[in-house]
Amino acid sequence: MANLGETPHTPYYGSIDSTPLFLILFAETIAWTRDEALAEELLPNVERALDWIDRYGDRDGDGYVEYASSTAAGGLRNQGWKDSDGRHHARGRDARRRGLLRLSEVQAYVVEAKRRLADFYCRRGERRRADELARQADDLAARIRRDFALGNGAYATRA
């Protein structure tokens, strides 16, 4: 991809889903190991990742994590784990041409991350933070069903 000019440098490890997946992995690791020292060590990173999702991942303030697809700027056209050309609108138009792209699976990762972190904070006795994250997850899940559901059990990418 570097030879084709689709990445700003080689190797390039950018992705839109890394941050929520990191949070899921953190929560799962701590739930399994109960390693409080590790939890304390990584907690500042966890909070920064949550802040990134809400502040920088949501580029237009609509509550979804999205990215702009612009190879002219030196970034990847597709920043999701599928890394394919399969980003199209319902009528077949390429969804990556301009504007922001919201991948349904990334929104689901954010819901899962916030739910797992709500459990983490609840176990720590931080009920207010747990309730806040659980509410955010529930609100996002409801918006995903409203905005992404195709009615046939599948979910669409939205640009």
pLDDT value, residue 148: 78
pLDDT range class, residue 66, cuts 50, 70, 90: confident
pTM of the predicted model as reported, rounded to 2 decimal places: 0.79
| Residue 58, token pair as written in the block | 């949501």
pLDDT value, residue 150: 73
Closest to 123 in 3D by CA, of 15, 35, 44? 35
Q: Is the pLDDT of residue 61 over 60?
A: yes
Q: Give residue-wise pLDDT tens across range 69-87.
A: 655 555 555 666 655 555 5
d(CA 116, CA 64): 18
Q: What is the DSSP secondary structure assignment for residue 86, as one 8-state letter? A: -
pLDDT value, residue 53: 96
Give the chain's mean pLDDT. Answer: 81
157 compared with 100, residue with greater pLDDT:
100
pLDDT value, residue 149: 76
d(CA 119, CA 60): 29
Residue with tokens 């997946």: 21
Q: Give residue-wise pLDDT tens across range 129-149.
A: 999 999 999 999 999 988 877
